[in-house]
Amino acid sequence: MIKDRVSDLIGRTPLLRLAVADGAGTVLLKMEQFNPTGTAKIRMARNMVDEAEAQGLLAPGGQLVEATSGNTGLGLALIAAERGYKFTAVVDNHSSVDKLRGMLAYGAELLNIAGDEEGLATAERYAGARRFAAEQGAFLTAQDSNQGNPNGYRPLALELYDDLGEDIDYLYGAVGTGGSLSGAGGLLRELVPDLKIIGVEPVGSVNFGGEQAPYHQTGTGTPEVSEICDVLDYDVIDEGIKVSDSEAFETCRYLARNFGILIGGSAGGVVYKALERARSAGPETTIVVLVCDGGERYLDTVFNDEWMADNGLFDAQVVDRLASMLRHPPVGGRGKSPDGPRLVGAHSQRERTEPLRSR
Protein backbone atom coordinates (compact mmCIF):
# COMPACT_ATOMS: atom_id res chain seq x y z
CA MET A 1 0.00 0.00 0.00
CA ILE A 2 2.99 2.32 -0.32
CA LYS A 3 2.35 5.04 -2.93
CA ASP A 4 4.76 7.43 -4.59
CA ARG A 5 2.43 10.36 -5.28
CA VAL A 6 -0.48 11.86 -3.35
CA SER A 7 -2.70 11.52 -6.42
CA ASP A 8 -2.19 7.74 -6.27
CA LEU A 9 -4.34 7.81 -3.12
CA ILE A 10 -7.44 8.93 -5.04
CA GLY A 11 -10.38 6.52 -5.07
CA ARG A 12 -11.51 3.38 -3.27
CA THR A 13 -13.49 5.51 -0.83
CA PRO A 14 -15.66 3.66 1.70
CA LEU A 15 -19.41 3.12 1.81
CA LEU A 16 -21.23 4.00 5.03
CA ARG A 17 -24.71 2.65 5.77
CA LEU A 18 -27.13 5.03 7.46
CA ALA A 19 -29.34 3.86 10.31
CA VAL A 20 -32.66 4.41 8.57
CA ALA A 21 -36.05 3.96 10.23
CA ASP A 22 -37.65 0.53 10.17
CA GLY A 23 -39.28 -0.28 6.85
CA ALA A 24 -37.10 2.07 4.81
CA GLY A 25 -34.67 1.13 2.08
CA THR A 26 -30.92 0.86 2.55
CA VAL A 27 -29.05 4.17 2.17
CA LEU A 28 -25.31 3.93 1.52
CA LEU A 29 -23.09 7.00 1.54
CA LYS A 30 -20.11 6.94 -0.84
CA MET A 31 -17.75 8.93 1.36
CA GLU A 32 -15.73 10.92 -1.15
CA GLN A 33 -14.32 13.07 1.65
CA PHE A 34 -11.73 10.34 2.15
CA ASN A 35 -10.00 11.35 -1.08
CA PRO A 36 -6.99 13.69 -0.99
CA THR A 37 -8.30 17.29 -0.57
CA GLY A 38 -11.40 15.77 1.07
CA THR A 39 -13.58 15.92 -2.03
CA ALA A 40 -14.77 13.98 -5.07
CA LYS A 41 -13.60 16.76 -7.39
CA ILE A 42 -10.00 15.57 -7.11
CA ARG A 43 -11.02 12.66 -9.36
CA MET A 44 -11.88 14.85 -12.32
CA ALA A 45 -9.14 17.39 -11.59
CA ARG A 46 -6.51 14.68 -11.97
CA ASN A 47 -8.18 13.26 -15.06
CA MET A 48 -8.44 16.62 -16.85
CA VAL A 49 -4.71 17.10 -16.34
CA ASP A 50 -3.94 13.49 -17.32
CA GLU A 51 -5.86 13.88 -20.59
CA ALA A 52 -4.27 17.26 -21.34
CA GLU A 53 -0.81 15.78 -20.82
CA ALA A 54 -1.61 12.79 -23.04
CA GLN A 55 -2.83 15.15 -25.78
CA GLY A 56 0.28 17.34 -25.58
CA LEU A 57 -1.66 20.36 -24.35
CA LEU A 58 0.47 20.88 -21.27
CA ALA A 59 4.20 21.54 -21.35
CA PRO A 60 6.43 20.92 -18.31
CA GLY A 61 6.21 23.90 -15.99
CA GLY A 62 3.04 25.15 -17.71
CA GLN A 63 0.11 26.99 -16.21
CA LEU A 64 -3.44 25.81 -15.44
CA VAL A 65 -6.46 28.10 -15.11
CA GLU A 66 -9.95 27.21 -13.87
CA ALA A 67 -13.10 28.98 -12.70
CA THR A 68 -14.06 27.30 -9.44
CA SER A 69 -16.19 27.69 -6.34
CA GLY A 70 -13.66 25.73 -4.34
CA ASN A 71 -13.44 21.93 -4.57
CA THR A 72 -12.28 21.71 -8.20
CA GLY A 73 -9.72 24.37 -7.39
CA LEU A 74 -8.43 22.37 -4.45
CA GLY A 75 -7.97 19.34 -6.67
CA LEU A 76 -6.20 21.24 -9.43
CA ALA A 77 -4.02 23.03 -6.87
CA LEU A 78 -2.86 19.69 -5.48
CA ILE A 79 -2.17 18.21 -8.92
CA ALA A 80 -0.34 21.36 -10.00
CA ALA A 81 1.85 21.26 -6.90
CA GLU A 82 2.57 17.56 -7.39
CA ARG A 83 3.53 17.92 -11.08
CA GLY A 84 5.23 21.29 -11.14
CA TYR A 85 2.55 23.44 -12.80
CA LYS A 86 1.41 26.92 -11.86
CA PHE A 87 -2.30 27.14 -11.09
CA THR A 88 -4.58 30.17 -11.07
CA ALA A 89 -8.09 29.78 -9.65
CA VAL A 90 -10.68 32.33 -10.74
CA VAL A 91 -13.10 32.64 -7.83
CA ASP A 92 -15.94 34.76 -6.42
CA ASN A 93 -17.15 35.45 -2.89
CA HIS A 94 -19.49 32.45 -2.77
CA SER A 95 -16.66 30.08 -1.84
CA SER A 96 -15.99 29.14 1.76
CA VAL A 97 -12.94 30.85 3.18
CA ASP A 98 -11.41 27.50 4.11
CA LYS A 99 -11.51 26.32 0.48
CA LEU A 100 -9.72 29.48 -0.63
CA ARG A 101 -7.12 29.03 2.11
CA GLY A 102 -6.67 25.42 1.06
CA MET A 103 -5.87 26.45 -2.53
CA LEU A 104 -3.37 29.00 -1.25
CA ALA A 105 -1.76 26.33 0.93
CA TYR A 106 -1.01 24.28 -2.21
CA GLY A 107 0.61 27.34 -3.82
CA ALA A 108 -2.27 28.40 -6.07
CA GLU A 109 -2.88 31.97 -7.17
CA LEU A 110 -6.40 33.33 -6.57
CA LEU A 111 -8.01 35.80 -8.97
CA ASN A 112 -11.26 37.10 -7.45
CA ILE A 113 -13.40 38.67 -10.17
CA ALA A 114 -16.28 39.64 -7.84
CA GLY A 115 -14.52 42.46 -5.99
CA ASP A 116 -16.60 43.48 -2.98
CA GLU A 117 -19.77 41.90 -4.36
CA GLU A 118 -21.24 39.14 -2.22
CA GLY A 119 -22.63 35.87 -3.49
CA LEU A 120 -22.47 33.80 -6.63
CA ALA A 121 -20.92 35.08 -9.87
CA THR A 122 -20.69 31.91 -11.94
CA ALA A 123 -20.90 33.51 -15.40
CA GLU A 124 -18.32 36.14 -14.46
CA ARG A 125 -15.96 33.45 -13.16
CA TYR A 126 -16.11 31.44 -16.38
CA ALA A 127 -15.70 34.52 -18.56
CA GLY A 128 -12.82 35.75 -16.41
CA ALA A 129 -11.08 32.38 -16.58
CA ARG A 130 -11.32 32.28 -20.38
CA ARG A 131 -10.00 35.81 -20.67
CA PHE A 132 -7.13 35.26 -18.22
CA ALA A 133 -6.06 31.97 -19.82
CA ALA A 134 -5.93 33.63 -23.24
CA GLU A 135 -3.90 36.53 -21.91
CA GLN A 136 -1.41 34.24 -20.14
CA GLY A 137 -1.20 31.55 -22.81
CA ALA A 138 -2.26 29.09 -20.11
CA PHE A 139 -4.24 25.87 -20.38
CA LEU A 140 -7.87 26.38 -19.39
CA THR A 141 -9.15 23.13 -17.88
CA ALA A 142 -12.75 24.35 -18.41
CA GLN A 143 -14.55 21.89 -16.15
CA ASP A 144 -17.93 23.01 -17.56
CA SER A 145 -17.14 21.74 -21.08
CA ASN A 146 -14.16 19.38 -20.71
CA GLN A 147 -15.13 15.71 -21.18
CA GLY A 148 -12.21 14.89 -18.94
CA ASN A 149 -14.53 15.98 -16.12
CA PRO A 150 -17.15 13.18 -16.42
CA ASN A 151 -14.47 10.74 -17.61
CA GLY A 152 -12.73 11.24 -14.28
CA TYR A 153 -15.68 9.73 -12.44
CA ARG A 154 -15.87 6.49 -14.42
CA PRO A 155 -13.57 4.70 -11.92
CA LEU A 156 -16.09 5.62 -9.22
CA ALA A 157 -18.73 3.58 -11.06
CA LEU A 158 -16.39 0.59 -11.14
CA GLU A 159 -15.76 0.92 -7.41
CA LEU A 160 -19.49 0.81 -6.70
CA TYR A 161 -19.97 -2.18 -8.98
CA ASP A 162 -17.05 -4.01 -7.35
CA ASP A 163 -18.57 -3.43 -3.90
CA LEU A 164 -22.27 -3.93 -4.65
CA GLY A 165 -22.63 -5.68 -7.98
CA GLU A 166 -26.12 -5.13 -9.36
CA ASP A 167 -27.54 -4.50 -5.90
CA ILE A 168 -28.09 -0.77 -6.55
CA ASP A 169 -31.51 0.65 -7.36
CA TYR A 170 -30.83 4.39 -7.18
CA LEU A 171 -27.78 6.62 -7.50
CA TYR A 172 -28.20 10.10 -6.01
CA GLY A 173 -25.81 13.02 -6.49
CA ALA A 174 -25.60 16.81 -6.49
CA VAL A 175 -25.59 18.53 -9.89
CA GLY A 176 -23.37 21.52 -10.57
CA THR A 177 -21.42 20.90 -13.75
CA GLY A 178 -23.08 17.47 -13.79
CA GLY A 179 -19.78 15.70 -14.30
CA SER A 180 -20.02 13.22 -11.43
CA LEU A 181 -23.49 11.87 -12.23
CA SER A 182 -22.94 11.99 -16.00
CA GLY A 183 -19.64 10.12 -15.79
CA ALA A 184 -20.22 7.67 -12.94
CA GLY A 185 -23.91 7.23 -13.69
CA GLY A 186 -23.43 6.68 -17.41
CA LEU A 187 -21.00 3.80 -16.90
CA LEU A 188 -22.80 2.33 -13.90
CA ARG A 189 -26.05 2.07 -15.85
CA GLU A 190 -24.25 0.04 -18.50
CA LEU A 191 -23.38 -2.40 -15.71
CA VAL A 192 -26.73 -2.12 -13.87
CA PRO A 193 -29.36 -1.52 -16.57
CA ASP A 194 -32.28 -0.99 -14.15
CA LEU A 195 -30.44 1.72 -12.19
CA LYS A 196 -32.29 5.02 -11.66
CA ILE A 197 -30.11 8.13 -11.48
CA ILE A 198 -31.38 11.13 -9.54
CA GLY A 199 -29.82 14.60 -9.74
CA VAL A 200 -30.29 17.04 -6.86
CA GLU A 201 -29.85 20.81 -7.10
CA PRO A 202 -30.67 23.73 -4.79
CA VAL A 203 -34.01 25.49 -4.93
CA GLY A 204 -33.17 28.54 -7.07
CA SER A 205 -30.89 26.65 -9.48
CA VAL A 206 -32.13 26.13 -13.04
CA ASN A 207 -30.49 22.93 -14.29
CA PHE A 208 -33.88 21.22 -14.02
CA GLY A 209 -36.06 24.24 -14.71
CA GLY A 210 -37.90 26.47 -12.27
CA GLU A 211 -37.35 30.06 -11.27
CA GLN A 212 -33.91 31.39 -10.40
CA ALA A 213 -33.36 32.54 -6.81
CA PRO A 214 -30.38 33.03 -4.48
CA TYR A 215 -29.16 30.00 -2.56
CA HIS A 216 -26.42 29.29 -0.01
CA GLN A 217 -25.33 25.79 -1.09
CA THR A 218 -21.91 25.96 -2.76
CA GLY A 219 -20.30 23.85 -5.46
CA THR A 220 -23.69 22.82 -6.85
CA GLY A 221 -26.46 24.21 -9.01
CA THR A 222 -26.53 26.74 -11.83
CA PRO A 223 -28.02 30.26 -11.54
CA GLU A 224 -30.17 31.56 -14.39
CA VAL A 225 -27.52 34.05 -15.51
CA SER A 226 -25.09 31.23 -16.29
CA GLU A 227 -25.05 28.73 -19.12
CA ILE A 228 -25.84 25.15 -18.22
CA CYS A 229 -22.62 23.17 -18.45
CA ASP A 230 -21.91 21.16 -21.59
CA VAL A 231 -20.87 18.09 -19.58
CA LEU A 232 -24.31 17.73 -17.98
CA ASP A 233 -25.85 14.76 -19.81
CA TYR A 234 -29.61 14.86 -19.34
CA ASP A 235 -29.94 11.48 -21.06
CA VAL A 236 -28.16 9.88 -18.10
CA ILE A 237 -30.29 11.50 -15.38
CA ASP A 238 -33.75 10.00 -14.88
CA GLU A 239 -35.05 12.66 -12.53
CA GLY A 240 -33.95 16.11 -11.41
CA ILE A 241 -35.18 17.33 -8.03
CA LYS A 242 -34.61 20.36 -5.83
CA VAL A 243 -33.69 20.72 -2.17
CA SER A 244 -33.88 23.79 0.03
CA ASP A 245 -30.93 25.22 1.91
CA SER A 246 -32.66 24.44 5.21
CA GLU A 247 -33.20 20.80 4.24
CA ALA A 248 -29.57 20.48 3.17
CA PHE A 249 -27.98 22.19 6.15
CA GLU A 250 -30.24 20.78 8.86
CA THR A 251 -29.38 17.32 7.51
CA CYS A 252 -25.66 18.06 7.84
CA ARG A 253 -26.12 19.26 11.40
CA TYR A 254 -28.39 16.36 12.36
CA LEU A 255 -25.98 13.73 11.05
CA ALA A 256 -23.04 15.38 12.81
CA ARG A 257 -24.72 15.70 16.20
CA ASN A 258 -26.53 12.37 16.25
CA PHE A 259 -24.21 10.04 14.32
CA GLY A 260 -20.81 11.75 14.18
CA ILE A 261 -21.02 12.04 10.38
CA LEU A 262 -19.62 15.36 9.14
CA ILE A 263 -20.50 16.10 5.51
CA GLY A 264 -20.62 19.19 3.31
CA GLY A 265 -23.62 21.40 2.66
CA SER A 266 -24.72 20.21 -0.77
CA ALA A 267 -24.16 16.58 0.27
CA GLY A 268 -26.63 17.15 3.09
CA GLY A 269 -29.28 18.04 0.54
CA VAL A 270 -28.66 14.88 -1.45
CA VAL A 271 -28.83 12.73 1.68
CA TYR A 272 -32.13 14.35 2.68
CA LYS A 273 -33.73 13.57 -0.66
CA ALA A 274 -32.35 10.02 -0.60
CA LEU A 275 -33.87 9.46 2.84
CA GLU A 276 -37.25 10.60 1.53
CA ARG A 277 -36.98 8.08 -1.30
CA ALA A 278 -35.87 5.31 1.05
CA ARG A 279 -38.95 5.81 3.19
CA SER A 280 -41.33 5.64 0.25
CA ALA A 281 -39.52 2.94 -1.77
CA GLY A 282 -39.48 0.29 0.94
CA PRO A 283 -36.94 -2.08 2.51
CA GLU A 284 -35.99 -3.95 -0.66
CA THR A 285 -34.44 -0.82 -2.16
CA THR A 286 -30.75 0.15 -2.12
CA ILE A 287 -29.82 3.80 -2.63
CA VAL A 288 -26.25 5.04 -3.07
CA VAL A 289 -25.56 8.70 -2.31
CA LEU A 290 -22.45 10.42 -3.66
CA VAL A 291 -21.19 12.50 -0.73
CA CYS A 292 -19.02 15.00 -2.54
CA ASP A 293 -17.12 16.42 0.43
CA GLY A 294 -16.82 16.59 4.21
CA GLY A 295 -18.06 19.25 6.57
CA GLU A 296 -14.74 20.56 7.83
CA ARG A 297 -14.80 23.46 5.36
CA TYR A 298 -18.27 24.58 6.44
CA LEU A 299 -17.61 25.18 10.13
CA ASP A 300 -18.08 28.94 9.72
CA THR A 301 -21.35 28.54 7.82
CA VAL A 302 -23.46 25.37 7.95
CA PHE A 303 -22.23 24.38 11.42
CA ASN A 304 -22.24 27.92 12.80
CA ASP A 305 -25.41 28.70 14.77
CA GLU A 306 -25.08 32.46 14.31
CA TRP A 307 -24.67 32.18 10.53
CA MET A 308 -27.64 29.82 10.28
CA ALA A 309 -29.80 32.19 12.32
CA ASP A 310 -28.69 35.30 10.44
CA ASN A 311 -29.72 33.65 7.16
CA GLY A 312 -33.01 32.26 8.48
CA LEU A 313 -32.02 28.66 7.78
CA PHE A 314 -33.13 26.86 10.93
CA ASP A 315 -36.23 24.75 10.35
CA ALA A 316 -37.65 22.62 13.17
CA GLN A 317 -39.99 20.80 10.79
CA VAL A 318 -37.03 19.52 8.79
CA VAL A 319 -35.40 18.27 11.99
CA ASP A 320 -38.61 16.45 12.94
CA ARG A 321 -38.73 14.79 9.51
CA LEU A 322 -35.10 13.70 9.85
CA ALA A 323 -35.87 12.19 13.25
CA SER A 324 -38.67 10.18 11.65
CA MET A 325 -36.47 8.96 8.78
CA LEU A 326 -33.44 7.93 10.85
CA ARG A 327 -33.19 5.47 13.72
CA HIS A 328 -31.28 6.66 16.76
CA PRO A 329 -28.67 4.24 18.17
CA PRO A 330 -29.21 3.81 21.94
CA VAL A 331 -26.74 5.49 24.28
CA GLY A 332 -23.81 3.18 24.96
CA GLY A 333 -25.25 0.57 22.62
CA ARG A 334 -22.17 0.38 20.38
CA GLY A 335 -24.19 -0.24 17.25
CA LYS A 336 -27.01 -2.25 18.85
CA SER A 337 -30.59 -1.39 18.03
CA PRO A 338 -33.88 -2.28 19.71
CA ASP A 339 -34.48 -5.11 17.24
CA GLY A 340 -31.16 -6.82 17.84
CA PRO A 341 -27.45 -6.46 16.98
CA ARG A 342 -26.63 -4.25 14.04
CA LEU A 343 -23.52 -2.38 13.01
CA VAL A 344 -24.14 1.13 11.73
CA GLY A 345 -21.70 2.23 9.05
CA ALA A 346 -19.85 -1.07 8.78
CA HIS A 347 -20.51 -4.65 7.71
CA SER A 348 -20.33 -7.45 10.23
CA GLN A 349 -18.12 -10.42 9.46
CA ARG A 350 -21.22 -12.38 8.37
CA GLU A 351 -22.42 -9.51 6.16
CA ARG A 352 -19.13 -9.29 4.33
CA THR A 353 -19.83 -12.63 2.69
CA GLU A 354 -23.50 -11.96 1.90
CA PRO A 355 -25.23 -9.48 -0.41
CA LEU A 356 -27.09 -6.54 1.10
CA ARG A 357 -30.31 -8.27 0.18
CA SER A 358 -31.51 -11.15 -1.93
CA ARG A 359 -33.54 -10.39 -5.04
* Catalytic residue list: 41, 266
User: In sequence order, what are the residues at sequence separation of 6 or more whose Cβ sits closer than 8 angstroms to the Cβ of residue 112?
Assistant: 90, 91, 92, 93
Give DSSP secondary structure letters for 283-346: TT-EEEEEE-BBSGGGTTTTT-HHHHHHTT---HHHHHHHHHHBPPPPTT-TT-BTTB---SSS
How many angstroms separate the CA atoms of 295 and 195, rounded? 29
Q: Are 119 and 215 in contact (CB under 8 A)?
A: no
How many angstroms separate the CA atoms of 108 and 44, rounded? 18
- Number of Cβ within 10 Å of residue 132's Cβ equals 18
- The amino acid that residue 54 corresponds to is A
User: In sequence order, what are the residues at sequence separation of 6 or more whose Cβ sits closer than 8 angstroms to the Cβ of residue 11?
Assistant: 35, 43, 155, 156, 159
- Please count the CA atoms within 13 angstroms of the CA of 70 that sit on its side-chain side: 27
How many angstroms separate the CA atoms of 20 and 328, rounded? 9
The H or E element that residue 22 is part of is none
User: In sequence order, what are the residues at sequence separation of 6 or more whose Cβ sits closer than 8 angstroms to the Cβ of residue 192?
Assistant: 161, 166, 168
Q: Are 248 and 308 in contact (CB under 8 A)?
A: no
How many angstroms separate the CA atoms of 307 and 289, rounded? 27
